[in-house]
Amino acid sequence: MASPLPFTEIDVNALAEVLSAKPSVVQLIDVREPQELALAAIAGFTNLPLSQFSAWQDQIHSQFEADQETIVLCHHGMRSAQMCQWLSGQGFTQVKNVVGGIDAYSAKVDPAVPRY
């Protein structure tokens, strides 16, 4: 039996509700590459590309609050799940992975966000 994930998964509709209701109290992290951000992005997310992990890992606690709701996004939800796992290991307690990523967000919530 698999152990439960140390983070929560949310769908893109829940993300849209969070973004419209209380974006200032939620930490938003996008782990996609800068060239992916150039293709499609959602306002308010801080870009921390997984490929540049060594460049930003030591600043994670000075940049984000470990006990604040933190939502992580990528293209389809795989890289963001890796980030959520890592954040949980760093003591972050309210980590949420966006299932389906920005691709699902574009398809189901906001078609103005380009798909790639």
Pick the CATH number of 8-108 from 3.40.50.11260, 3.40.50.300, 2.60.40.420, 3.40.250.10: 3.40.250.10
pLDDT at 1 over 90: no
Mean per-residue pLDDT, 18-32? 89
pLDDT at 6: 83
Task: Locate the domains of the chain by residue range.
Answer: 8-108
What is the torsional sign of CA 93, 66, 70, 5?
negative
| Tens digit of each residue's pLDDT (9 = 90 or more) over 74-114 | 999 999 999 999 999 999 999 999 999 999 999 999 999 99
Cβ neighbours of residue 102 closer than 8 Å, sequence gap 6 or more:
30, 32, 40, 41, 42, 73, 74, 75, 113
Nearest Cα neighbor of 80 from 58, 64, 103, 63 is 103
Query: Which residues are designated catalytic?
Result: 74
What is the per-residue pLDDT across 36-78, written as a single tens digit (0 to 9) for each? Answer: 999 999 999 999 999 999 999 999 999 999 999 999 999 999 9
